[in-house]
Amino acid sequence: MQLNPPHTLKEIASFIQADFAGEPNFIISGINEIHRVVKGDLTFVDHPKYYQKALNSAATTIIINQKTEVPEGKALIFSEDPFRDFVALIKKFKPFETASGMISPTAIIGAGTHIQPGVFIGNHVKIGSNCLIHSNVTIYDYCEIGDNVIIHSGTVIGADAFYFKRRPDYYDKLHSCGRVIIEDNVEIGANVTIDKGVSNDTTIGAGSKLDNLIQIGHDTIIGKNCLFAAQVGVAGCVTIGDNVILWGQVGVQKDLEIGNNAVVLGQSGIAKSLKGNTTYFGSPVLEARAKMKELAMMKKLPDLIEKLEG
């Protein structure tokens, strides 16, 4: 989430009543969760395991729960509970806006776009030209949709990220302030759910096609001309290249990458990053021919065991 206008380190620290280390006029231009930070962003870290990742990230301001030396070119804000204070800043800079009708007066809808009955379009949504939005589609605030996009009935664009911190007796929600960006010439099937970024964008690349009953997690980036079949599930912070095909019921774990032109056969489980230009199968996935060979060998195991026991 970009801050418009940017704020100083002193201002941000004062909002959460926290001490800081760094130049008081140090500029903070955005607020982002660690996976998608860029220079100028503020992020948070609250576990020693991830201190170095945050301190060495592209983020230039870090809310942290331990006094430590300030990295060169950066600033620190000290907090007893960085998660709590990060959420407080999100709520301050992007508070929830109630709806005043089925289509917000702040929405911008391009020429030639058809909106069927029962569609909800939230505040500050942008929809391009010559799109077709079928009935009972829900598009949350701030989402952006390009030209020539088709979205089928029952789909939800921009629901909150599935992101919680485990407290001793409850789950604490990290409030989402990101967006969904759908580029030109995308088609999205019925009953698809695409979650907004926690604090950045979930992006569906130009020309990509998503079948029915697909879940795309927060901050995931899908490349151009990808093809996903029914019941694919993609977790948060995944980066998928161009021309990738995921066949039915493929599951993708969080925070990994899939290279250009990869093909993953149906019912496979992806637990680690995959190189492009390769066909994969299985759970966990292997190169498809190697996996098929492995399965063929497993079928022979009962006979081999029987011979050994005999």
Domain membership of residue 303 (yes or no) is: no
Same domain, yes or no: 21 and 65: yes
* Burial category of 184 from C-beta neighbours within 10 Å (exposed 0-12, middle 13-18, buried 19 and up): middle
85 and 116 co-located in one domain: no
Range of the domain at 78: 2-93
> Which pLDDT band holds residue 299 (cuts at 50, 70, 90)?
confident
Active site residue 7: no
Same domain, 163 and 135: yes
Same domain, 113 and 83: no
pLDDT tens for 50-91 read: 999 999 999 999 999 999 999 999 999 999 999 999 999 999
Q: What average pLDDT does this structure show over 36-48?
A: 95
Assigned domain for 261 exists: yes
pLDDT computed for residue 272 by the predictor: 97
Q: Are residues 133 and 282 in the same domain?
A: yes
One domain, residues 118 and 86: no
| CATH classification at residue 134 | 2.160.10.10
User: Does 305 score more than 90 pLDDT?
Assistant: no
As a whole number, mean pLDDT of residues 199-227 equals 97
Question: Which pLDDT does position 302 carry in this prediction?
Answer: 84
pLDDT for 243-291, tens place per residue?
999 999 999 999 999 999 999 999 999 999 999 999 999 999 999 989 8
Say what the pLDDT of residue 310 is: 66
Total number of domains in the chain: 2
Which candidate in 7, 134, 152, 218 is catalytic?
218
What confidence score (pLDDT) does residue 307 get? 77
pLDDT tens profile 177-192 = 999 999 999 999 999 9
Residue 36 within a domain: yes
| Per-residue confidence (pLDDT) for residue 8, from 0 to 100 | 98
pLDDT higher than threshold 90 for residue 150: yes
Residues 146-163: what's their mean pLDDT? 98
- Same domain (yes/no): 27, 169: no
Instruction: Flag whether pLDDT at 48 surpasses 90.
Output: yes
103 within domain boundaries: no
pLDDT surpasses 90 at 303 = no
Same domain, residue pair 204 and 269: yes
One domain for residues 112 and 156:
yes
pLDDT over 80 at 234, yes or no: yes
